[in-house]
Every structure is written in structure tokens, then in C-alpha cells.
Chain A
Amino acid sequence: MTSKGTGKKLKKNLGKIIMYLVLILMCLAVLFPFAIVISTSLKTYADSVKVPFTFNPGYVDFSSYVAVLQSEAVWKGLVNTLFVVLPIMVIGVFTSALSAYSFAKINFKAKGVMFAILMFSMMLPGVITMTPAYVIYDMLGWTDTYYPLMIPNAFGTAACVFYLRQFFAGIPNELMEAGEMDGLGKFGIFTRILLPLSKPALTAQMILWFISGYNDYFGPMLYLSSEDKYTLQLVLKLMAGSSESNWPKVMACCIVTMVPLLIMYFAAQKKFVEGITMTGLKG
């Protein structure tokens, strides 16, 4: 009996050890590229091209970071990115929320049809519209402007509607009826009651929106051609793509562009997880 008990315990512990081992290996695999890149970014150019790679050259050289932070292109890229992303993030989440409110709390005839169309819009592969959209934007004179990156998103996105609809559905109807008693119209109920109650959900959506806007490469790459209009991702791409790359500087730029989102992530870690599981599972 005792020997069987300890055997079982040993087996259980062995299982735990294997699990930890596998998980730690995964973590190392995820962190490995970052470690190499950070190490490179802190070297002089001469050392960065020395073979074999040395993880710790025995000094820390911040000059690449200084160069990146003094680069006008990087700051301009940041300003452009924020200009493209921030206003539309607020407007887009608002229009999505209004739509989600209607789908969750108002009974209207066309609801079923409209919701089905919204579902369909998510299923439609975006690639089909790449070329014709470009031709249309070009005719409108929108190429090499921020309009193609901003205007379509201002109408709200289906994914955001799904998530917020789910959240709104969980808010008790009594609260809204109380608002109606107080003489609020539908829009008043939305802005005065629903939105204040939904701050966590709205923040989660804004964070996800900000990340995808900040990291967007496809749109800016397709539509922007003048370098002074480049967003941060295009600035990074341009720097990384030049033939005589200054590796430490490129890697420093890589890290610098990531830092704002990493800070956001570490600060609002729970919001990330919430936003993803809600959109992912119950949409």
C-alpha cells in the first residue's frame, strides 16, 4: 500500500516536472529571438557582424537607441501612426457600440437580415477587394492620403459589434426601462446608461483596435507612397530594407517600435485576455 502510494506520487511529480520542462522550453523559444535582437541592438556595428555571434560582448552600447530616438523619420512615423489610429479608434468603437446596442436591446423588423449581412461581411475574404478598392481610391484621389486607412474603419467593424453586442446583452433591461421612465430616448439610454456601464468592454475593444491599427502594415504599404506620410511600421520596414543595413540600429528601431505596445500589454494584461476570449469564443 505504501509503496504503491509513493510510486503514484513519484509518477505525479514526474508528470509535473515534464510539464514545467516543456512550458519553460516554449518560453525560451518565444524569448530567444528577442534576446538575440536586444543583444544585437546594444552592440557596435563592427561587433554586430562579427562571426560567431557573441551574446554578451562585454559592454553595452546605447548609441543605436540614441540614433533611433533622434531620427526624425521615427518621430514623424509615430505622429502619423497616432494621427491615423487614435481618432478612428474612438469613432469606430462608438459606431460599433451604437450598432451593437441596437442589435442587443432594440427590437426591430430588419434585425435578422441585417445581422446576417454583418456575419457575411466577416466571412468574405478581404483579398477580393484589394485591387478594385485601390482603383476606386485612386479615382477618388485618395491614394497617398490617410483616407483609405481611416474612413472605412470609422463605420465600425463587425468583430467589434459582435463583442459589444454580447456584453450589452448581459446588462439588465430594468436599467434601461428606468432610463425610459426618466424620459430618456433610445440614444440617451445609450450614451447615459449603457456606455458608462460598459467602460471595461469599451476599453478592451479600444486596446485591440489600437494594437491592430498601430501594427498595421498592409494598408499603409498599399496606399502610402510619400515617405513623409509613412507610419511607424513603414519607417521600420524602410530602415530594415536598405541594402547596407546598420544592424544594431535596425534592431534598436525594432525594439523601440514595440515598446509602446509592450508597455500597454504589461499594464493592461487582463484586458487583453478578456477582449480576446470574448471576441473569440462567443462572437
Chain B
Amino acid sequence: MKSKKRDNIIGVLFAASPLVGFALFGILPLIFSIVLSFGNLPTYDLLDIEFCGLENYIRIFTEDTEFWQSIGNTFFYAIISVVGTVVISLIASVFLNNIKRGGKAIRIILFIPYVCSVVAISTMWKWLFDYNYGVLNDVVEFFGMTRINWLGEASTAMPIMILMSIWGGLGYNMILYSAALNAVSRSYYEAAELDGAGSIKKFFSITLPMISPTTFFIMVMGFVGALQSFANFQVMTPSGGPDGTTWTMVLRVWYVGFVEDSTLYGMGYASAMSWIVGGIVMIFTAIMFSLSRRWVNYDV
């Protein structure tokens, strides 16, 4: 009995560290940001705060067209890049599962971008798409067209960001899919073969449902990450790109809080914005979880 009581105390003490960290650096700022979001704070000094009620929120909903544009951009980016990554990494891992020779080398290559930093990748891609010296424009000229200002034109900037995201995320998701594919029992396929199912039928009726938990995991993590994407956009197009087409929600929050003239918006306004962004992300996550019951198969 005594040792049970001891376990209760020791267990809490040992387990507590990450929770204490979360309380101090997660919950505390969270409460703080609620307070901030109802005030005007042109400096970083909390004593300068002037409370203004719902003014920040009203301004966001009625005036801030750039913020609403950023929400649209972010969702467009998130949906296309996540779906694109899922499809391409699934194709890669299914194919890898079916070949014998060279698979290891291919896996190693596809995974390389994962270990590279956002800054390095963005710098590389900026160089590829450079207006004056970029290789891609040489290709364009080779085909007799005029050079394109890739990152400076509204129609091409976002597609490049999406392409870059798929390029970088392919290897990571391929690893997750490969592990899932290996876990599917051979006996299912053998049974289907006896019924005369072809490889395409087998893929859709066995493989896809069996790996649906992985697909769900990749999609949730992908969406939650993509909806909060910031660094890649901040390096490639620091101030929202051509006509604001590459503002993302978080980039906008950062810009308003840290770059823009602080008498215009300030930290209070940025906090209100970040609550809306956080709310959107959380609602979207909840929706994904509730929809998942319809198509994710956890029976394995």
C-alpha cells in the first residue's frame, strides 16, 4: 500500500517535465495572448497595452483583406501540396515494394531533401527559378518563349511553392508508407489472387484500405503543418509575393507583428490574428478526425 502511494508521487514527478514545459511555454503564453488580443500594443512592453475590447477582431473581420487572402492562399497550398505528396509518395512506395534491385539506393536518394534545411532548400530553388540566371528560364527560352519571372508573377509563385513542398516531403512520407505496406499481411493478397483479382483490383480493395491509418496520419500531420507553413514562404517571398498571392496565415501574423509599422497593427492585433489562425487549424483538425471514421480502417 505504501509503495503504491510512493508510485503515485514518483510517477507524477518523473512524468512532469514536458508538462511543466508546456505549462510555462505553451499555456502561459496562450493565456497571455488572449489578453493581448483585446488590446493595442505598439511596443513589446506589456505596460504599454491599451485595452480596446473587440476592436482587433472587428478590424480583422471587416477590413483586413490581406489576411483573408492569406487564408485562401494557405488552404489552396495545403490541399494541393498534401494531396500531391500523398499521391506521389504512395506511388513511389508501392513501386519500391514491387522491385527487387536498386530499391535501397532509390529510397536513400528520395529521402535526401528531408535532412536539408528550409533555408538551404529555398536558396537552391530560388536559384533554379531566378529570373536572370535560373536554369528553368534557359529551358523556357530553349522552347522559344520569353523568360518568366517565376517568383514575381501571381500565376507561378504559388505553384512553385507547392512543387517545392512536394519535392521536400516525398521522402519522409515514402518511409511511412513503406513501413505500412510491409505490415500488410501476404495472406490477404493470396486470398484475392485465388479469387482472380488483378494487381489494380488488389491495390484498391486491399492495399489502400489496409494502409488507410497511415494515409490519415500523413494527411492530418501534413495539413496541420501546411496550414501553419511559414519558413519556406518567408525565405522565398518575404512580403507576400506578387499581389499577395503567397501570403500564408502565419506569414501574415509574423509580418504584422514583427515587420509592419507597429503603430499600424502591433502585437495585440497580431495576437488576435493568431487566435483566428489557431482556431481555423484546430477546427480543421477536428473535422478531419470526425470524417476519418468513414474511411480509416483500424481493424488491422
Contacts and interface: CB of A to CB of B under 8 A. Distances in A.
A136 B32 contact: yes
* Size bracket of the B interface: 35 or more
**Majority secondary structure of chain A interface residues (helix, strand, loop or mixed):** helix
B228 A218 contact: no
Contacts of A153: 21
A281 B141 CA distance: 46
A120 to B, nearest CB: 9
A30 B109 contact: yes
A108 B124 contact: no
Interface stretch (A65-73, A171-179, A254-262): A254-262
A14 interface: no
A99 B179 contact: no
B99 A96 contact: no
**Majority secondary structure of chain B interface residues (helix, strand, loop or mixed):** helix
B279 to A, nearest CB: 9
Contacts of A124: 26, 30, 278, 282
B12 A114 contact: yes
A244 to B, nearest CB: 13
A119 to B, nearest CB: 11
Nearest to B272: A131
Given A118-B19, A129-B33, A19 B117 contact: no
Interface of B: 4, 7-22, 24-26, 28-30, 32-33, 36, 41, 44-46, 88, 91-92, 95-96, 98-99, 102, 106, 108-113, 115-121, 123-128, 132-135, 138, 141-142, 167, 170-172, 175-176, 179-180, 199, 213-214, 217, 221, 224, 227-228, 230-231, 234-235, 249-250, 253-254, 257-258, 267, 270-271, 274-275, 277-278, 281-282, 285
Interface of A: 15-16, 19-20, 22-24, 26-27, 29-31, 33-34, 36-37, 40, 48-49, 51-53, 95-96, 98-99, 101-103, 106-111, 114, 117-118, 121, 123-136, 138-139, 143, 151-158, 161, 186-187, 190, 211, 214-215, 217-218, 221-222, 233, 236-237, 240, 247, 250-251, 254, 257-258, 261-262, 264-266, 269, 272-273, 276-277, 280-281
